[in-house]
Amino acid sequence: MWDIIIIGAGPAGLTAAIYARRARKKVLVLEASSYGGQIINTLDIENYPAAPHINGYDFATNCYNQAIELGAEIKFEKAINIMDGDIKKVVTKSNTYETKTIIIATGCGIRKLGLDKEDELLGKGVSYCATCDGSFFKGKDVAVVGGGNTAIEDALYLSDIASKVYLIHRRDSFRGEDISIADLSNKDNLEIIYNSNVTKLIGDKKLDGIEVTNKNGDIKKIDISGFFIAIGRVPENANFTKVVNVDDKGYIIAGEDCKTNVDGIFVAGDSRVKTLRQLVTATSDGAIAATNAIKYISRRNNV
């Protein structure tokens, strides 16, 4: 039996593994796809203390290697259910693991626009990751849709690759950091389209363009080769909602102590209710969740 099972190997989950192993707990990390979570798509991290200008992949790899070196076991299996009890269980498609405590650190997945042909044109001009796919559009016209930090960073990144970048936002102002917003005005090949939504994808075998509709109902066709969707994330908590409480958006309800409504089950990172979802808050959550899981085990052993 494991002391702590951590679901998710992003920054929050790996930080929790590091703290738990330093406390000599037997730790299993379950990851559905690849370690690192969304941070691996970040080209340049500028706001993490004492580690400026490190790319997301290197940061995630450092965390992963540190957890491994400390003795955490990491298995690439998707957790599809959890069960509460004196001995808790985490169920994957191939195994059932018993544990004293659980830390859910599943993070968030991509949010789709929900347009016709969105899935069909994925990888044929439509993308959710500018740093992954931007190089395919060197010297071409592209568009980014979104109004937060990710959309702004994607547009800035693509402006150094593409011939022309359109940044489309449904509101009249951005939600991103001021320093990044200010950088937009320094890009001569970047055009911002406010108060508009992308309402149609044009193309059959590949993307040829998009239709954009403004708040007055006026429709404009834009010829582009690449379209990058950055409209936010959705929490990856659907498999656990029968056990832990979530809000109306699907985020697990927990305070800064990372405790859920179930004793011995904790949550860390972007998948919980919080006001700021950043790398630094994810790693902070991982440390807090692991520390409280360790305290829970000690209390349980003393009963």
Strand locations in 53-125, DSSP E?
A: 73-75, 79-83, 88-92, 96-104, 108-110
Nearest CA-CA partner of 279 in 61, 124, 47: 47
For CATH 3.50.50.60, list the domain ranges present in the chain.
Answer: 2-109+233-302, 126-229
129 is catalytic: yes
Higher pLDDT: 110 or 29? It is: 29
pLDDT of residue 286: 98
Burial, 202: exposed, middle or buried (Cβ in 10 Å; 0-12, 13-18, 19+)? middle
Average pLDDT over residues 157-186: 93
Alpha-carbon span 183 to 201, nearest angstrom: 28
Tens-digit pLDDT profile for residues 160-171: 999 999 999 999
Catalytic residue among 44, 58, 119, 132: 132
Does residue 258 have an active-site annotation? no
Check whether 42 has a pLDDT greater than 90.
no
Q: What's phi and psi for 27, nearest 5 deg?
A: -120, 130
Q: How many other CB atoms are there within 10 angstroms of residue 123's CB atom?
A: 11
**Residues 6 or more apart in contact with residue 263 via CB below 8 angstroms:** 296
Q: Does domain 2-109+233-302 have CATH number 3.50.50.60?
A: yes
Residue 132 bears catalytic tag:
yes
- According to DSSP, the β-strands at 164-168 and 141-145 are parallel
Helices 279-302 and 11-22: angle between axes, nearest 10 degrees = 40
The one catalytic residue in 129, 141, 183, 208 is 129
Model pLDDT, residue 19? 98
Say which DSSP state 139 is in. Answer: T
User: Does the pLDDT value for residue 12 go beyond 80?
Assistant: yes
State what percent of residues in the chain have pLDDT above 90: 86
Question: By the 8 A CB rule, do 259 and 173 touch?
Answer: no
What is the chain's mean pLDDT, rounded? 95
pLDDT of residue 110: 87
Torsion of CA 146, 149, 150, 152, to 10 degrees: 70
Q: What is the pLDDT of residue 246?
A: 97
Q: What average pLDDT does this structure show over 67-77? A: 98
Q: What is the mean pLDDT of residues 277-283?
A: 93
239 pLDDT tier (thresholds 50, 70, 90):
very high
Instruction: Report the CATH number of the 126-229 domain.
Output: 3.50.50.60
Burial of 170 (0-12, 13-18, 19+ CB in 10 A): middle
| Residue carrying the six token digits 């360790």 | 294
Mean per-residue pLDDT, 251-278: 95
Predicted confidence band of residue 84 (pLDDT cuts 50, 70, 90): very high
For the residues 184-189, what does the mean pLDDT come to? 95
Q: Is the pLDDT of residue 303 over 70?
A: no
Q: Following CA atoms 204, 205, 207, 211 in sequence, which dihedral angle do they give, to the nearest 10 degrees? A: 0
Catalytic: which of 84, 133, 141, 208? 133
pLDDT score, position 179: 86
Q: How wide is the angle at C-alpha 51 spanned by C-alphas 48 and 52, nearest 5°?
A: 80
